[in-house]
Amino acid sequence: MERWTFGVEPLPQTELVAPLLRRVAGLVQSLDHADPAVEQLLVDLRTAEAALTRAGHPDPVPRLGDDAPDDGRPYVDHSRDIGAYNPCFPEYDITVDGDHATGAATFPLAFEGPPGVVHGGILATFFDCVVQHHNCDLGEAGKTT
């Protein structure tokens, strides 16, 4: 059975940035006082934002399909492992075995809702994406309904 994909693979840099941003967000949220490291982080992030704005694609429409124009932004494949490249999503492990799948996830502090608990909206999004991952590995991709 062929795995279904849609879009391009994330860049290696993107896969390094995502977990780092999640960890840093959690560390910043755990502070109860201003810290010079956060001030420096803000300066560095603003500098990076300006440079990336100049380097990125001005058209937010994703580049998809064989006849897509070269000037659109790349669409990173969202069929699986979203947390590997998107800092707004947790990393997880999944093993697909036909109609069944098993796995594990850890939700860092950045995804906290009620005290010490993962936010329900994050759990709903997570569930949707993991089901999609399973379906894509089975070659049965489609919109969640």
Residue 76 and residue 90 in contact, taking contact as beta carbons nearer than 8 Å: no
Note the pLDDT of residue 88: 92
Note the pLDDT of residue 139: 85
Note the pLDDT of residue 120: 96
Residue 106 lies in a domain: yes
Residue 143 lies in a domain: no
Residue 7 lies in a domain: no
Note the pLDDT of residue 3: 64
Residue 4 lies in a domain: no
Length of the chain: 145
Which residue type does 67 have? D
- Placement of tokens 């993962």 in the chain: 118
> Kindly report the CA angle at 133 between 127 and 139, in degrees rounded to 5?
140
Note the pLDDT of residue 144: 62
Give backbone dihedrals phi and psi of 97, rounded to 5 degrees, phi first: -135, 85
First and final C-alpha spacing in the chain: 23
Q: Tell me the residue range of the domain where 17 lies.
A: 12-137
Low-confidence residues in the chain, pLDDT < 50? none
Q: Which two tokens stand for residue 60?
A: 């937010």
Residue 65 lies in a domain: yes
Residue 120 and residue 58 in contact, taking contact as beta carbons nearer than 8 Å: no
Residue 144 lies in a domain: no
What is the tally of structural domains in the chain? 1
Residue 31 lies in a domain: yes
Note the pLDDT of residue 143: 62
Residue 51 lies in a domain: yes
Residue 6 and residue 80 in contact, taking contact as beta carbons nearer than 8 Å: no
